[in-house]
Amino acid sequence: MPATILIVEDQADIRKLIRMTLEFEEYDLHEADNGAEGFRLAQALRPDLILLDVMMPGELDGYQVCEKIKKLPDLKDKIRVVLLTARGQQSDLEQGRKAGCDSYLTKPFSPLELIEKIEELLAV
């Protein structure tokens, strides 16, 4: 059974690019364009991994979605969270760790690096 990956990213072009990268890797892909929808889908789909943009407009940013997921007893160990950050500053990484993320990627990210990171996290 293919692993389920949820892509939570407000920029349509980046979502499309991620999808293009992963579509040959035999994952079941789903998308959300904001944090609130991403959290809702995370609860509904219970994906194996979430690619989560940090800076999104609206009620929930990526850190908050990550925190909320990692607080849910039935999801926190099931879902791996990879934060996508445009800045990669130390404070952002610290913030990500505090939110409980499993890994992060800095935009613009290498598609190969994305694939390898997903494989590494799903293998655990």
Partner 1 sequence: MASAIQYLLDSIKDGIMIVNLAGKLVFANQSARQSFPGQLQIIAEHADLKKAIADAATGKVNLPINVRLSIGTDALNRTTLVGTLIPAPNNVDYVYIIHAGLRSDEYTNSLHNFFELIRQELRQPILDFLKLIAPQQSDQSPVTDHAKEIINRLEKLIDVVEIFGDDALISDDRIVVKDLVTDVWKELAPLASNRRVEASLVGFNTDLPPIYGSYNWLRRAVRECLENAIIHSRQEISNSLKSHVEIRAKQSGQHLMVIVRNLGVGLLPKLADRVFLPFNRAGLPKASPTHGMSIGLPLAQRILELHGGQIRINHSNDSATELTLELPTGAPQRDSTKLDIQQAQRYAEDLAKLMVRRKKRTTSMNPPA
The residues that touch partner 1, with contacts defined as CB under 8 A, are: 11, 13-14, 17, 20-21, 24, 35, 55-61, 63-64, 86, 95, 107-112, 115
Q: How far is the CB of 44 from partner 1 (least distance, A)?
A: 21
Quote the DSSP letter at residue 27.
-
CA dist., res. 37 & res. 119, Å (int): 25
Nearest to partner 1 of 75, 115 (CB atom): 115
Residue 30 vs 107, nearer CB to partner 1:
107
For partner 1, which is the closer residue by CB, 4 or 67? 67
Min. distance of Cβ 108 from partner 1 in angstroms?
4
Pairing relation of β-strands 28-32 and 49-53? unpaired
Q: Closest approach of Cβ 70 to partner 1, in Å?
A: 13
Residues 14-35 as b/e (b if ≥16 CB within 10 A, e otherwise) read bbebbeebbeeeebebbbbbbb
Please state the closest distance from residue 69 (CB atom) to partner 1, in A. Answer: 14
Q: Give SS3 for 79.
A: coil
